[in-house]
Chains A and B, each alone.
Chain A
Amino acid sequence: MLFQKKTRAAALAALAVSVALVATGCAAGDSGSGGGEGDGGNLSITFLPKNLGNPYFDTSNAGGEEAIEEFDGTFAEVGPAEATPDGQVSYINTLTQQGVGAIAISANDPKAICDALNEARDAGVKVVTFDSDTNTDCRDVFVNQADAEGIAKVQVDLIAEQIGDAGEIAILSASANATNQNAWIELMKEQLAADHPGIELVEVVYGDDDDQTSFDKTAALLQTHPNLKGIVSPTTVGIAAAARYLQTSEYQGKVALTGLGTPNQMREYVEDGTVTAFALWNPADLGYLAAYASKALIEGDITGAEGDTFDAGKLGEYTVGADGVVLLGDPFVFDAENIGEFDF
């Protein structure tokens, strides 16, 4: 009996191995033919967000799908359940084997997925990063939602407008070591010093992108600085928590709040006047542009070199900048007028 079982198991294993071999062989063949077409047959573009079920990426992927339908490509969406650094690797490998035309990916880690992406590129798959970039040598093009300058500027402009260009302001950031937050804060400081001499930045506090911490930090800010005129929170968690505190405090309507937020989080506070306006890019446009960038790469219109131009449907024409970066444009300002049009 025992012997029989063993042989059966061995036979099964052998079968499995041969099936796997055949399968991978087929896949390799597919990717070869896919990559070989060159002049733009394979418009199958797969979106690989940081994680699935994220309203932000749902919106951007919907934008991508819209674009892909416009040019008759094939849209697909895969991704890990959780945004872990290496969670995307297995998906990239599978897509490489399937021989898709392009992967539009929001990277969970700039390095961890590099090898997998380069293998994909070697197999002829075009790689477009959007929202969150990898190292420049592992992708063809990065579709940047907004550059740091633009993000800093829109927030400085909003707060200056809301407090009449004079008075004390504070910044409620995410964690103290968040690279993007710190870069924006530095730029905001420069712009404040250069263009808004009447505004004094009195403190930068860190809410760690935690609702409760951000909420309590807002309370502490308002207490510590009785003359505070405004708060800028360049993080979606921070701005919502700060808005919630302001809404229930004696400072509602007296202390201005702006920053980067999502419409769903901020709807209530914009409607009751706690917040007048806040900014963010439009994720649907971001996905839309990433899809068109993928198409341009697949069809060979662009290679990712600086100065390449391509058409992006309703968004108009875009030019690839230094390091293969395509900039979506200025951040989008949400206010009571337009917030009803968005759901993410």
Chain B
Amino acid sequence: MSTATTTPTSNVTKRLGAIGKAREFGILLALVIVIIAATAANPNFLFSADGWRDLLLTPSILVLVAVGQAIVLITRNVDLSVGSVLGLTAYLTGRLFIDFPGIPIIAVFVIAVAFGGVLGLINGALVAFAKVPAMVITLGTLYAYRGINVLWTGSDRINASDLPKSFLALGTEQFLTIPILTIIALVVLIIAGWYMKNTRGGREFYAIGSDPAAAELYGLRVTRRLLTAFLLSGALAGLGGVLYAARYGTINSQAGSGWELDAVGAAVIGGVAIVGGVGSVWGAAIGAVLLLTINRALPILGIPDFWQRAVVGVLIIGAIVLDRVLAVRQKRKLIEARDDS
């Protein structure tokens, strides 16, 4: 797939676009099927007030984290520390409300997002300057950030009663039946989607992911782009942390552990290739919604708890196999296209 950006014949890009579209469409279709099946089994899934709210609300935080993850994945890197960043910022959020009573909510948002951004920037700097694979660096910071969290939190815990009511209300409040959290996630998604598709900066992420060496030779500012990608991923995980605090109300030192896998899983299911250069934040977002909606739908369909993780595993493997098949087919077509010309 690395040849895709270096041989931009209009025919090929059109075909590529079609495949990409088909991919996101497929995931969307799967999501719709899951929702219809669950609703048929139990109309409350969609039509009760709580059901509708939870359908939109539950995936919102993961959507944010998955969008950040997708951006990093597209540059042929990975950010495994997002779960730890989310946990750390969630605890920071709680601490801010406890240690500075009356602090404006917007200030907490700004501080937490900035803090997440700094944590992301540390990842980015280590990856970009030390030239160590992101998998290793972020695996390290996954443990390091979690360690800091455990050190800081101990076995303390933020309880819902420590947080202001107006902040907790954010976690469930709705505007025209759409939860606030979902609106935040959608706004971020639209901005990120537009940026990745239409701006020079966004396209450079794809270029770097497709062929880092070529991107460097072409004179793209690879280091700066990598820093930006990790910064965005960290900041979005930070935003996720604030929203996590608002939604769940209880934060201990293990908040958000395992989220990195959900985020990577969501992105991969949504068609973001783990080897970079392919996919979109929209796909990752739909993947996140699908992942969590399946989790919620399976018990309603009467599938026991124990199978739910297995189903998620099958989805991820399926998505990767599909990726591979598409990649092979695409490569063949590109070769044909080259031979024809």
Q: Which residues does A use to contact B, with CB under 8 Å?
A: 51-56, 81-82, 176, 205-206, 210-212, 215-217, 219-224, 226, 237, 240-241, 244, 247-251, 264-265, 267-269, 271
Contact = CB atoms under 8 A, between A and B. Distances in A.
Interface in B298-339: 299-300, 305-306
A231 to B, nearest CB: 14
Given A211-B248, A240-B159, A265-B250, A176 B299 contact: no
Q: Which 10 residue pairs are nearest across A and B when measured between Cβ atoms?
A: A53-B154, A268-B161, A54-B155, A248-B172, A220-B299, A244-B249, A223-B44, A211-B250, A268-B160, A249-B50
B296 A220 contact: yes
Nearest to B153: A53
Given A219-B296, A267-B159, A244 B248 contact: yes
A249 B179 CA distance: 13
B156 A55 contact: yes
B255 A211 contact: yes
12 contacts: A53-B156, A54-B155, A205-B305, A219-B54, A223-B44, A223-B45, A223-B51, A241-B250, A249-B50, A250-B49, A251-B50, A264-B159
B248 A241 contact: yes
A205 B296 CA distance: 12
A51 B296 contact: no
Report the contact-size class of chain B (Cβ under 8 Å from the partner): 35 or more
Contact of B155 (A55, A265, A271): A55
B160 A250 contact: no
Contacts of B299: 205, 217, 220-221, 224
B146 to A, nearest CB: 11
A216 B58 contact: yes
B52 to A, nearest CB: 11
A212 B296 CA distance: 12
Interface of B: 42, 44-45, 48-51, 54, 58, 150-151, 154-157, 159-161, 171-172, 244, 248-252, 254-255, 292, 295-296, 299-300, 305-306
Contacts, number: 87
A249 B299 CA distance: 19
A217 B300 CA distance: 11
Nearest to A56: B155
B159 A250 contact: no
Given A211-B255, A244-B160, 6 more contacts: A52-B154, A53-B156, A211-B251, A216-B295, A220-B296, A223-B42
A219, A220, A267, A269 interface centre (most CB from chain B within 10 Å): A220
A250 B104 CA distance: 29
Contacts of A247: 160
A248 B171 contact: yes
Given A55-B156, A206-B305, A223 B300 contact: yes
Contact of B306 (A55, A176, A215): A176
Contacts of A55: 155-157
Contacts of B161: 264, 267-268, 271
A170 B280 CA distance: 41
Nearest to A264: B159
Nearest to A265: B159
B84 to A, nearest CB: 15
Contacts of B154: 52-54, 81
A14 to B, nearest CB: 37
Contacts of B251: 211
Contacts of A264: 157, 159, 161
B42 A224 contact: yes
Nearest to A270: B161
Nearest to A226: B44
B27 to A, nearest CB: 21
A223 B251 CA distance: 25
Contacts of A206: 305
B111 to A, nearest CB: 22
Contacts of A53: 154-156
B248 A223 contact: no
B300 A224 contact: yes
Contacts of B171: 248
Nearest to A215: B248
Nearest to A51: B155
Contact of B48 (A51, A220, A221, A223): A223
A81, A219, A251, A267 interface centre (most CB from chain B within 10 Å): A219
A139 to B, nearest CB: 24
A251 B292 CA distance: 22
A251 B54 CA distance: 14
Nearest to A271: B161
A216 B50 contact: no
Contacts of A223: 42, 44-45, 48, 50-51, 54, 300
A241 B295 CA distance: 17
B292 to A, nearest CB: 8
B295 A222 contact: no
Nearest to B161: A268
